Amino acid sequence: MLRIFRLCLLVICGLPLCAWGDSTNEAIVRATAAIQAAVPRAQTDPIRPIFHVASPAQWMNDPNGPIFYKGYYHLFYQLNPFRDESGPRALRYWGHVRSRDLVKWEPLPIALWPSGELGEESIWSGCCTLNDLGQPMCFYTSIGVGKSAFDQAVQWAAVGDDLIQWHKSPANPVLTDALNDRKIYDWRDPFIFRDHQKTFLVTGGHMARDRGAAVNIYEAENPELTQWKHRGVMFEHPDADAPTVECPNFFKLGDQWVLFVSPYGKVQYFIGDFNAQTCRFTARTRGVLDWGSSFYAPNTMQVSDGRRLVWGWLNGFPGGLGWNGCLSLPRQLGLGRDGQLRQNPAPQLSKLRGKKVGWKDVQMSNGSEKLTLPKTNTLEIQAEIDMQSANRIELGISSGVKDAPVIAVTFDGAELQVVDAKAPLLLAKGERKLTLRIFIDRSVLEVFANETVCVTKIIAPLDANPTLTIRADGGPAVAKQMQSWPMHTIW
Ligand code: FRU
């Protein structure tokens, strides 16, 4: 009786039913059914991207635990299976997809759900790794029933043999506040890395109630990775106004160490040195991963040949469509000679291309040149422009529909502008070349410029008759290569 009353109360309050005290089986059955019920609406929505990884339906946010294991790229993601919005108390599960080639993806059953019987309410972001016994494990931030993510979070682990089925570790919680010598607020998002035969875990958070963003570091004390010791603060955010750090990622790229942090705003990277004895990271340089305001909480994967890939959560879609959120394209990371980060779309993405249209040596002047794009709203455009004596160039992508807004990409030699987002983009001395890779996936626009600047925006989709206009101001320029392809679905 009491139970029926409680269920009714929760329905009336509009809260997801499995949040409080459900058994594990009830939680997953209900969550799966809720996703399935939303699929028909979500998947027929004309603005839903088709070549970006996304949940089959409902709300999703951060990519979690990307790992290459036994021939598959696995990605997990933050999922609210009950709603197409973030929802109360940010109730989260881990959704799951995998791919053999980064080209075609396969949705898999929900990987992790809250163990209501153990007092767990929500499963927040984290990572996957193999422990020293070779077992796949994931680590994540666990929010207890009625507990505050601000000052009561703990870190849990689950063990899996095939990455599809997971068992919560009997050692949970594997990291608690008791390890820390002082209070860490918003303590979350474990990420594991290795150096000098040691296994380390970093977490995000802040050291005072509303400031002191910092990355804390822990060292594993057993091969099962269930016992940890706090090794202190690895990195204090240099900006006094950075409120916190979410989703730290820390990895080696070439001979440098790179830290990604999500400080409630644009995602930042820091590059520098790590000392495995003192557990301190000293940053030499910094930058921004994406200058749009729709890319957040990225997570990286190391592939066996050493390549490092990153996916971010793309947000800012309209609500009420049965889905909300997707991941960025996989980006391959590198370091430039200038010591700054390089990002390129993973080369495998070219397998999604259909029939090419192309132009060579198009002279650009202040009269616009109009080119006809593939007849679709899922496409890639690649442009190699020699600015010559122009002081500004502009590409405008338009729908065939009269008065539809133009997607404008402009460059003045120092700043790239994509719609309303501005990014500094300096050319090397004497260099006049701009290389653009522009991906349009219905409502998602992802732009890569000279491998150094990325801008992601959520846009109004094009229609099936898009055109591209190009122009140069202040002198002539030449579009040496312009190519465009329709892009196929990843599903
Ligand atoms: C980042 C974040 C993480 C947290 C998760 C909850 O977007 O706030 O810090 O673990 O989302 O969904």
Q: Is the pLDDT of residue 199 over 60?
A: yes
List all residues 6 or more positions away from 159 whose beta carbon is below 8 Å from its beta carbon. 131, 135, 136, 137, 166, 167, 169
Ligand 1 centre and the CA of 345: distance in Å?
A: 25
Segment (H or E) for 407: strand 407-411
Mutation choice for ligand 1 from 58, 59, 62, CB with most ligand atoms inside 8 A: 62
For ligand 1, say whether the CB of 246 is within 6 Å of any of its atoms.
yes
Categorize the per-residue pLDDT at 19 as very low, low, confident or very high, splitting at 50, 70 and 90. very low
Nearest to 345 by CA among 380, 297, 321, 314: 380
Categorize the per-residue pLDDT at 8 as very low, low, confident or very high, splitting at 50, 70 and 90. very low
* pLDDT tens digits, 293-346: 999 999 999 998 889 999 999 999 999 999 999 999 999 999 998 899 999 999
- What DSSP line would sit under 308-351, residue for residue? EEEEEEE--PPSSSSEE-EEPPPEEEEE-TTS-EEEEE-GGGGG
Ligand 1 centre and the CA of 232: distance in Å?
A: 22
For ligand 1, say whether the CB of 297 is within 6 Å of any of its atoms.
yes
CATH 2.130.10.10 describes domain 2-347: no
Q: Is the pLDDT of residue 41 over 70?
A: yes
Tell me, yes or no, if the two domains 2-347 and 353-486 fold the same way.
no
Quote the percentage of the chain above a pLDDT of 70.
95
* pLDDT tens digits, 55-67: 999 999 999 999 9
Q: What residue's CA is closest to ligand 1, atom 6? A: 124
For ligand 1, say whether the CB of 78 is within 6 Å of any of its atoms.
yes
What topology does CATH give the domain 353-486? Jelly Rolls (2.60.120)
Place of tokens 């892009």: 487
Q: What is the Cα Rg of the chain in Å?
A: 23
* pLDDT tens digits, 105-158: 999 999 999 999 999 999 999 999 999 999 999 999 999 999 999 999 999 999
User: And the tokens for 114?
Assistant: 């809250």
| Mean predicted confidence (pLDDT) in 406-418 | 97
pTM, two decimals, is: 0.94
pLDDT of residue 403: 84
Each domain of the chain, given as residue ranges in start order, spans 2-347, 353-486
pLDDT of residue 428: 87
Ligand 1 centre and the CA of 246: distance in Å?
A: 7
| Dist CA 420 CA 447 (whole Å) | 13
- The partner residues of 219 in beta bridges, in order of sequence, read 200, 229
Cβ atoms within 10 Å, residue 129: 21
Residue 133's alpha-carbon distances to 169, 201, 223, 393, in angstroms, are 14, 17, 6, 56
Nearest atom in ligand 1 to the alpha carbon of residue 78 is 12
Nearest to 300 by CA among 311, 290, 287, 289: 311
Nearest atom in ligand 1 to the alpha carbon of residue 90 is 12
